[in-house]
A and B are shown apart, each in its own frame.
Chain A
């Protein structure tokens, strides 16, 4: 488990998102852009890959702790969720 501030976390999440979706352009995604919206279109496959990598890198089990997966609303929400649990 690592200690990370929200800014470092966001940078890493962008990398993870780009890899999970296979879309390099998402490495520049804004913090407030909805992940489930038409633009990013995170689905059950890419979402699972993202959550798995987040669990592996940060030791945080988002799905286990967040029933509604509100933490996946945006990169900002996800970073805050992780930072709270690793700070």
Chain B
């Protein structure tokens, strides 16, 4: 499991000292931890703070380290609660985070209550930079910008909270643009990254290798689409994709995947509408999306159910698969106004 976010304690972890006990001068950051965090940031891993301190301690840590923190939980609750709130705030799953704390009891508390998280001491973390969980094979452009994208996301969420209208009105207000185009060879590394990183919106529940994706993009019996997203807050780049087998009079989507960061921004609706339109234009009578049934990809099943797909059970007892399908008779669905297709 790749780590997507490292959650840092401050006192005696990111900072070399205790913030509230340092008198007039707050403790300087620990240079070893800052170096580790910067290296991980350059690999596309984001950072958060969970600290038993007033909020000023996090602001101080941001300035003193020069790092960006995508989420901050400063308070006096249990660390495990802070970790869970950060995980929810970032729309991640608990097994995608690492938690670093010098305090043995804090580490034990978090390990007990959030067993899926990777819990490390600062010494472990210095060593962990070389572990596979922290080492993506390719660092894509989206990965390098990930910290900035989370900062853009926070601004967007603040505006969403203050906005009075519906979700669609908000998407329009943000100038949301979803672009769907045939995938090219240049898209293959990022599509591979998405296939291994996505779980909440991943129909197959498994990654696809780069050679396989390259073969599929040039295969005449398949269509591979790349989905990009941006709005006035920022550019999220390539956030999703799908692989379609155009068989006889039915299209089957063998893989559908979208970054969880794009959840709630109209991307899945646009992609499903585009798939229905394209399949109908090609003369297909039905569109099927086989979907591994797992508690992890409930958001995908929700999107399919709300877009008019009905499921029938399939697969095996070990690997239950729900085949979501819809007929393509009747008028094709409209592409949402913020979506465009090449």
Which A positions have Cβ atoms within 8 angstroms of B? 21-23, 36, 41-48, 51, 63-64, 67-69, 72
Contact = CB atoms under 8 A, between A and B. Distances in A.
B298 A63 contact: yes
B264 A46 contact: yes
Please give me the 7 A-B residue pairs with the lowest Cβ-Cβ distance, nearest first. A45-B264, A44-B299, A36-B306, A47-B302, A69-B305, A44-B303, A63-B298
A69 B301 contact: yes
Contact of A43 (B167, B200, B295): B167
A67 B300 contact: no
A64 B264 CA distance: 22
Contacts of A72: 302, 305
Nearest to A61: B295
Which size bracket describes the interface of B in this complex? 20 to 34
Dominant SS at the B interface? helix
Most A C-beta atoms less than 10 A away, residue of B201, B306, B310: B306
A10 to B, nearest CB: 21
30 contacts: A21-B167, A36-B305, A36-B306, A41-B166, A41-B167, A41-B168, A42-B302, A42-B306, A43-B167, A43-B268, A43-B306, A44-B299, A44-B302, A44-B303, A44-B306, A45-B263, A45-B264, A45-B299, A46-B167, A47-B299, A47-B306, A48-B299, A51-B302, A63-B298, A67-B293, A68-B305, A68-B310, A69-B302, A69-B305, A72-B305
A48 to B, nearest CB: 5
A43 to B, nearest CB: 6
Most A C-beta atoms less than 10 A away, residue of B200, B303, B313: B303
B322 interface: yes
Contacts, number: 60
Nearest to A23: B166
B63 interface: no
Contacts of B299: 44-45, 47-48
Given A36-B305, A44-B300, 9 more contacts: A22-B161, A41-B166, A42-B302, A42-B306, A43-B306, A44-B264, A47-B302, A48-B200, A48-B299
A63 B300 contact: no
Nearest to B91: A45
Contacts of B313: 67
Nearest to A51: B298
Contact of B302 (A21, A48, A64): A48
A67 B311 contact: yes
Contacts of A64: 295
Interface in B26-49: none
Interface string B311-324: 10100000000100
B201 A44 contact: yes
B275 to A, nearest CB: 16
A69 B322 CA distance: 12
B269 interface: yes
A42 B269 CA distance: 12
Contacts of A21: 167
Contacts of B167: 21, 41, 43, 46
Nearest to A40: B166
A63 B301 CA distance: 9
Contacts of B322: 67
Interface string B237-275: 000000000000000000000000001100011000000
